[in-house]
Structure 1
Amino acid sequence: MQADEERIRSKQSLGRLSWVLIILHGFLGIGAIIGGGGLIIDPSGNILQMPNSLLEHSPFRNFLIPGIVLLLVLGIMPIVIAISLVTQCHWKIGVKLNLYPDRHWAWTFSLYTGFALHIWIMVQVFWIQHVSVIHLVYFAWGIAIQVVTLLPGVQQRYSR
């Protein structure tokens, strides 16, 4: 009886680790919305002081498509995930794309976001043929998202 009450209490309150995960997604989303929005508004990259020479080895002539991808995949999606980690709302598409049906879809999408961030950074480095500190920071951010997502307490929080 007491173990059941403790389990219910732990499910009802978001633990510190869950908040860390929510904050990681929130800040990633906010930054990517600002960056992606800036690239969409000004595809030349001037508004964000990004020279067009960064696209020299990429398939793009301007920053519009990268801006859209950044806005949607690393901006809006992490914000949706952060909100869903708090509310545990139902989303049919999220449930269908969930590779871990024993976990809430937002937990699984948290892992997906870490992978998406790693892919984004690796593609960026490949195309610009240069690694900067910001690439390392965001790559580590993706690892942090995945590590926190996989911690036992977080997994238990989002178990079905």
Structure 2
Amino acid sequence: MHLLLAIGAVFGGTALVIDPSGRLLGVTLSILNTSPFTNFLIPGLILLIMLGIGPLLICYALIKRTHWKVPSKLNVFKDTHWSWAFSLYCGFALITWITLQTYFIQGVALIHVVYVAWGIAIQIATLLPSVRRHYLLDHE
């Protein structure tokens, strides 16, 4: 789930950074009229970093169980590997991103529902007892 999310977000975020007008993705600037943004540069950077690069790193860490100091310090679940916590954070980030997006554009499309469901699915999968057990630190 993280890898597919990352691929889409890297593509979309990069396209918005390259062309902040949104034309590259077929999006018009008018949907930003009720948002704090005048173009898609900042939303593109947020998308690229938070939902593109972030989930790529999480995916890698979930597989390899890497020991990185900064994410370990940001892990509020001290009994689990940081990648498990960041998987949960990623689900929250996706739901928050879509919620803010629908608020700012003042509309909801099917794709928004799909991505909120995706965020919930990430959280459900992360919270499964077998998954949590797998990432308990004493399990390593």
- TM > 0.5 fold call: yes
Identity %: 54
2:12 maps to 1:35: yes
Q: Give the corresponding residue for 1:111.
A: 88
Task: Describe the SS at the equivalent of 1:120.
Answer: helix
Q: Give the corresponding residue for 1:77.
A: 54
TM-score (norm 2): 0.97
Instruction: Supply the distance in 2 between the matched residues of 1:53 and 1:142 (Cα, whole angstroms).
Output: 27
Find the structure with the greater CA-based Rg. 1
What displacement does 1:124 show? 0.4
* CA RMSD, 1 decimal: 0.4
* Alignment equivalent of 1:157, drawn from 116, 127, 134: 134
2:119 maps to 1:142: yes
Instruction: Supply the distance in 2 between the matched residues of 1:122 and 1:109 (Cα, whole angstroms).
Output: 19
Instruction: Supply the distance in 1 between the matched residues of 2:108 and 2:38 (Cα, whole angstroms).
Output: 21
* Alignment equivalent of 2:75, drawn from 85, 98, 112: 98
TM-score (norm 1): 0.85
Q: Unpaired segments of 5 or more residues in structure 2?
A: none
Task: Describe the SS at the equivalent of 2:15.
Answer: helix
Q: How many residues align?
A: 137
- Superposed structure 1 runs of 4+ greater than 6 Å apart: none
What displacement does 1:45 show? 0.1
